Structure 1
């Protein structure tokens, strides 16, 4: 797999209540997207970013990190061939990303995702 971007996913009780701290205080002023249950905030000058997640809408487990890749299908095939625990199978989500969630041997759940341009 070739990762092209990695974003930490922080669990928060409420995205709206958290915005002031992450967007304004930390300077992550650009809200790239907000689906109500997940939102990404990015520093316009550096590209540093973080995702806030209340509860993953379609996965049985929340992920600690999202890893963007240019070939999610190949990554999924490799995860299967290695026998990793697939938390959510490869799916094209209604919001336009193609992703799967996999549990690392240490127990962390990782969101492997391809964003369509």
Structure 2
């Protein structure tokens, strides 16, 4: 058996509004809008699943982690739309730069890039 994808499902009172938030920060697109559910996608798909006792550096466990190629750009986009930045940006000792934000529904999101990337 091969896994084709693992997709987090975040709760949203207004899926289209939450989709707009993520599209503005990450430059991804809506690929399906079923009214009650909106699916967003970027240009690549990988399969990973994190299982964690904490978020690292004493932080809470985020609902999702999003790896980007330009953390400064993602941070600037988040600030531009008034996102609630709750941690960082910071260089962690395990080799990532990251920041946390809360999306409009209150979900904790870890945005990261690998150091030197």
Q: 1:86 to 1:59 in 2, by over 3 A?
A: farther
Partner of 1:67: 66
Partner of 1:103: 102
**Distance in 2 between the 1:56 and 1:62 partners?**
4
Q: TM-score, normalised by structure 2?
A: 0.56
Q: 1:112 to 1:75 in 2, by over 3 A?
A: same
Give per-residue Cα distances to partners, 1:21-57, cap 9 Å, x unaligned.
xxxxxxxxxxxxxxxxxxxxxxxxxx52201110122
Matches within 5 A, 1:1-117: 48-58=47-57, 60-116=59-115, 117=117
Q: TM-score, normalised by structure 1?
A: 0.56
Higher strand share: 1
**Distance in 1 between the 2:47 and 2:73 partners?**
27
**Distance in 2 between the 1:92 and 1:79 partners?**
18
Of stretches 52-61 and 77-86 in structure 1, the one that deviates more from structure 2 is: 52-61
Task: Mark the runs of 5 or more structure 2 residues left unpaired by the alignment.
Answer: 1-5, 9-45
**Distance in 1 between the 2:93 and 2:7 partners?**
21
Task: Mark the runs of 5 or more structure 1 residues left unpaired by the alignment.
Answer: 1-5, 9-46
SS for the counterpart of 1:78 is: helix
Q: 1:59 to 1:105 in 2, by over 3 A?
A: farther
